[in-house]
Structure 1
Amino acid sequence: MALSKKGTNWMKQQRFFTILIFLFFILLTTTNQRISSSPDSLCEVPELQPTQAEIELKEMQGLFEEYDKWITSEIEASGTIGAAVAITYKDQIAFMKCFGKRKAESDEPVDKHTIFRLASVSKTVTGVLSGILAQEHIIDFDEHVKESLPGFLLNNPESTNNLTIRNLLSHTSGLVPHAYDDLVEAHVPFHTIYERLKTAGISAKPGELYGYQNVMFSLLDTILSVKTSKNYSQLVKEKLFEPAGMGDASTDFESFKNSDNKAYPHWGNGSHKSLPLNDRYYNTAPAAGVNASISDMAHFLLALLDENKPLLKEDAEKTIFTPQVVSPLSRGYFRYWDKVGTKRYGLGWRLVNYKDRKVAYHGGYVHGYKAEIAVCQQENIGIVYLTNSPNSVASQSVPEFLNKLFNYEQEKAILANTETTQEEGLNIQGS
């Protein structure tokens, strides 16, 4: 029997509602699955726990705030034109602050990428580079200079034949201190100064005495060029600047001059006036020719202190920070420090005993710029200060922080000892 038209419509409606209900259940199930697997679900996403370094940094905030208050006040009172400071702790940049202007006559502010000249703090960069090259077997610290430079000559055969790379980087060449710095400042090309070394005065055998040098220290560049067919500038960029994230750093005057974000040099205290840029000491780049921002230098410190991403292996780092020679310096050099114990020199770093801690340190000054850097590996902490208007604030920047740091550590130790004693007393009473 044929179905009526009314019956046919009723069956179609039934099918439609059945399909609609089926689709509703599919949609409901899918939605529930999405909700249960959502990354916003509290029961599915584990809470991120702070690292030990982050916990310790939080505890140290009072220390950094105290230093911030001090240095900000000193910079403002001194009339400093521009400056920047950074402190790193383990794998963290703990504190970074920029002050003032790039140039007295301009309103452009110093920021974390403003480039300063490091002057002799360049030697610390070269020291670290030498460690990297040694661990890659590109250089050997005890290799004689004459092995790479057969034509090398000093004033006597014994010094010529016995001088090593270690002697160059530790200022123990035996030449009279600051040999031919006058030629460096007169912009004499390095290859010309190199030829004059055979007439330089000698005061000791290689390795015997400390005598600060810029020319002899920078002889490493000539050795590297022979060994690798690359100069110092190329190698420090490839082996250190790029891996460490030092994107603003360079080692030549042209790069510095052409930068749109550079600090200009200034003289004086309180009534600063900018000076023209000067290319002095770029002909001894390993000793005094590195340009860098505070961001660069913070990453440089991290490269030394971050145990998870070390650029230097333990043996190479130990060599750099091992004293090579006693370096007697006048009290005036450390006039803003409390009593400094032994003073020695490693490879590119001054090594001092300060308040029962070993501190690796260096200062630098050239034509209206001053830089200060220090690392205390016992505390896993480092500090760097850069300025374009040298004054006493720069000289105080490192020791003042170290004093505050060591006082903080001492108070922390006393508190921990007191709490331990109290706990032991309670345990005795309860037993």
Structure 2
Amino acid sequence: MFLKSTAFISTLSLAALLSFNQALATPSHYATLSDNFGQYFHRELKSYKVPGGAFVIVEGNDVLKLDTYGKRDKNSNLAINADTVFRLASVSKTFAGTLAGMLVAEKKLDWQQPIVNYLPEFTLADPQSARQINLGHIIGHSTGLWPNSYDNLVNANIKIPKIIGKFEEITPMCNPGVCYGYQNVAFSFIQSAIEQQANQSYQEMLQTRIFDPLKMKSATLGFNAFQQTTNRAEPHVKTKSGFKQVKVKQNYYRLAPAAGVNASITDMSKWLIANLGQNPEVISTDLIKDLTTPGIKTTKELRRRDWRSHLDSAHYGKGWRVYEFEGRPLIYHAGWVAGYVAEISYSPELNIGMAMLLNGESRVVAKLSAEFWRDAFLTADRLDKKH
């Protein structure tokens, strides 16, 4: 029987789930679901006039469905293909959480270490409050800082060292670990800790610990790497007269852990497979469990328009959101940056995952993903009854 529990994550044995589902499920169980989603994806993107996109659905170590839609640039005839590179925006946080978690597992970092140990120039209106914020708070959005602190300055293209200096003006809204406040600037403080303990640049760490071992051949970090990629999807923003192509901005690329990764849908299939536990030599089951253990409650997520009828609880783990979707654990993250939308999610119980990348700003991804997981769990229930 498939697991349903309100204490869904704390009681999960990931290794047992993987073994159970590998024995129970085969790709054919979700083939119809995948094919139907492919048709729905094309229909909805066409309806919303999104310039282009791509999606992938995986089960265990297998790609069930990978498909693309539309153009890299609405003004050209270049079609998006499986290796077209998109910006991942905040889905980049899943990589940052994993890199930090690897160093914690290797005893090079500790989630309880104060961030000021690695970023001594960081302070708040009350310096003692700054010293109470640890690496776990940084990676789990429980710093106590006001949501999206100084994102306005990132949008204004202010350099990051100057933004860090502005934190001395902030009085937190709560003590660390007490309340949720989503961050981009503060989240990226984790880069200093990673680089100092790994003795590598953040980019080198990504390449040697994740991209290379998982054979994510198109994945890169940063603005320059994206601009040098020939097969890339250009950004489009929504206007009253439809989608308009815009230039790629550098601002959020300066926050590499929060929004710096570029990847194709083929790369995302490999990232999903690894997070389903299929590459334990790269991402161990213990690390996956650590990253997806629920941390701070994120009650605002329960009000998401396309998801609210399905979500029973929502938390943030370490670089991943942790949902309870109609009694089932679902690991999730989304990203949105000028001209791009990305989503990634997986069910450790069903042993399947999906990702979507768009080169046009549209909320259609939330509708698509919510309905995909509704249908996936309905499929699982039917399989359950047969057994």
Give runs of ≥4 in structure 1 deviating > 4 Å: 51-55
Is the Cα–Cα contact under 8 Å of residues 53 and 91 in structure 1 kept in the other structure? Answer: no
Partner AA of 1:303 in structure 2: A
Partner of 1:74: 44
* SS of match in other structure, 2:124: coil
Superposition deviation, residue 308 in structure 1: 5.3
1:102 counterpart (53, 72, 77): 72
Superposition deviation, residue 92 in structure 1: 1.0
* d(CA) in 2 for partners of 1:384, 1:191: 34
Superposition deviation, residue 100 in structure 1: 0.7
Instruction: Give unpaired runs (5+ residues) of structure 1.
Output: 1-50, 417-431
Deviations 1:49-94 (A, max 9, x none): xx96897112322221221222222122222211000111111111
* SS of match in other structure, 2:368: helix
* SS of match in other structure, 1:272: strand
Partner of 1:21: none
Partner of 1:273: 244
Partner AA of 1:113 in structure 2: D
Q: Does 1:282 align with 2:247?
A: no
* d(CA) in 2 for partners of 1:54, 1:411: 13
Superposition deviation, residue 224 in structure 1: 2.4
CA distance 1:142–1:194, change in 2 (3 Å): same
Partner of 2:330: 359
* SS of match in other structure, 2:242: coil
Partner AA of 1:316 in structure 2: L
Superposition deviation, residue 335 in structure 1: 2.6
Larger Rg: 1
* d(CA) in 2 for partners of 1:179, 1:52: 43
Superposition deviation, residue 133 in structure 1: 2.1
Would you say how many aligned residue pairs link Structure 1 and Structure 2? Answer: 366
Q: Does 1:396 align with 2:363?
A: no
Partner of 1:298: 269
Is the Cα–Cα contact under 8 Å of residues 121 and 165 in structure 2 kept in the other structure? Answer: no
CA distance 1:198–1:231, change in 2 (3 Å): farther
Q: Does 1:325 align with 2:325?
A: no
Partner AA of 1:159 in structure 2: S
Partner AA of 1:152 in structure 2: F
Higher relative contact order, chain-length normalized (CA < 8 Å, sep 6+): 2
Partner of 2:173: 203
Q: Percent identity?
A: 30
Instruction: Give unpaired runs (5+ residues) of structure 2.
Output: 1-20
As a proportion of its length, which structure holds more helix?
1
CA distance 1:259–1:405, change in 2 (3 Å): same
Is the Cα–Cα contact under 8 Å of residues 35 and 65 in structure 2 kept in the other structure? Answer: no
Superposition deviation, residue 247 in structure 1: 1.4
* d(CA) in 2 for partners of 1:400, 1:337: 12
> Greater shift after overlay, 85-94 or 301-310?
301-310
Partner AA of 1:231 in structure 2: S
Deviations 1:358-416 (A, max 9, x none): 11111111101000111111111111000001223212221121111111111222233
Partner of 1:121: 91
1:316 counterpart (287, 304, 310): 287
Partner AA of 1:218 in structure 2: S
* d(CA) in 2 for partners of 1:278, 1:194: 20
* d(CA) in 2 for partners of 1:208, 1:392: 30
Partner of 2:111: 141
CA distance 1:117–1:238, change in 2 (3 Å): same
Q: Does 1:407 align with 2:374?
A: no
* d(CA) in 2 for partners of 1:297, 1:120: 14
Partner AA of 1:414 in structure 2: K
Is the Cα–Cα contact under 8 Å of residues 98 and 110 in structure 1 kept in the other structure? Answer: yes
CA distance 1:330–1:379, change in 2 (3 Å): closer
Superposition TM-score, scaled by structure 1 size? 0.80
Q: Does 1:132 align with 2:106?
A: no
* d(CA) in 2 for partners of 1:139, 1:278: 32
Partner AA of 1:284 in structure 2: L
Partner of 2:212: 242
CA distance 1:52–1:170, change in 2 (3 Å): closer
* d(CA) in 1 for partners of 2:73, 2:24: 36
Deviations 1:14-59 (A, max 9, x none): xxxxxxxxxxxxxxxxxxxxxxxxxxxxxxxxxxxxx968971123
Is the Cα–Cα contact under 8 Å of residues 339 and 354 in structure 1 kept in the other structure? Answer: yes
1:80-99 matches, cutoff 5 A: 80-99=50-69
Partner AA of 1:195 in structure 2: G
Deviations 1:176-204 (A, max 9, x none): 11111111112222222222222223111
Is the Cα–Cα contact under 8 Å of residues 304 and 311 in structure 1 kept in the other structure? Answer: no
The alignment's C-alpha RMSD in Å is 2.1
Superposition deviation, residue 288 in structure 1: 1.2
Superposition deviation, residue 148 in structure 1: 2.7
CA distance 1:319–1:330, change in 2 (3 Å): closer
Is the Cα–Cα contact under 8 Å of residues 84 and 98 in structure 1 kept in the other structure? Answer: yes
Deviations 1:338-364 (A, max 9, x none): 331111111111111101111111111
Deviations 1:304-357 (A, max 9, x none): 114354422232221110111111216553435533111111111111110111
* d(CA) in 1 for partners of 2:327, 2:200: 42
Q: Does 1:335 align with 2:306?
A: yes
Partner AA of 1:333 in structure 2: R
